[in-house]
Structure 1
């Protein structure tokens, strides 16, 4: 079963800590989003493997955009 990681708010992706194929655990660091000069860490939602990464550093995203998929 796969689970999507959604953007908690609109902003700019300034750091990505995982890549496709990485084994991850729930609450591992996934990436950092910046909005209104504040950096917000985003965490992996479940144990698994990163199957799809939909963003790259520097991308602007909207709230609830699918950032990555964990299987």
Structure 2
């Protein structure tokens, strides 16, 4: 299981991947809005999204886990 962390603190603006979805390495999982910029959080490896750990509108911290990929 791989845990994906946010590289920056901000607001979860969008979720681009659904739980159970097969994704490729580099696929965008969520979009974080910080300082009026939208930063994509991407999968480090291909796999299946097992669990999303955040919700749209949630404030997250730098380094916070946002998804688990298997």
1:60 and 2:59 equivalent?
yes
Partner residue, 1:13: 12
TM-score between both structures, scaled by the size of structure 2: 0.95
Report runs of 4+ in structure 1 exceeding 3 Å deviation: none
Partner residue, 2:45: 46
Structure 1 unaligned blocks of 5 or more? none
Number of matched pairs: 70
CA distance in structure 2 between the partners assigned to 1:63 and 1:27 by the alignment:
19
Is the partner of 2:12 in helix, strand or coil? strand
Partner residue, 2:28: 29
Is the partner of 2:54 in helix, strand or coil? coil
RMSD: 0.7
TM-score between both structures, scaled by the size of structure 1: 0.94
Offset at residue 52 of structure 1 (A): 0.8
Structure 2 unaligned blocks of 5 or more? none
Offset at residue 15 of structure 1 (A): 0.7
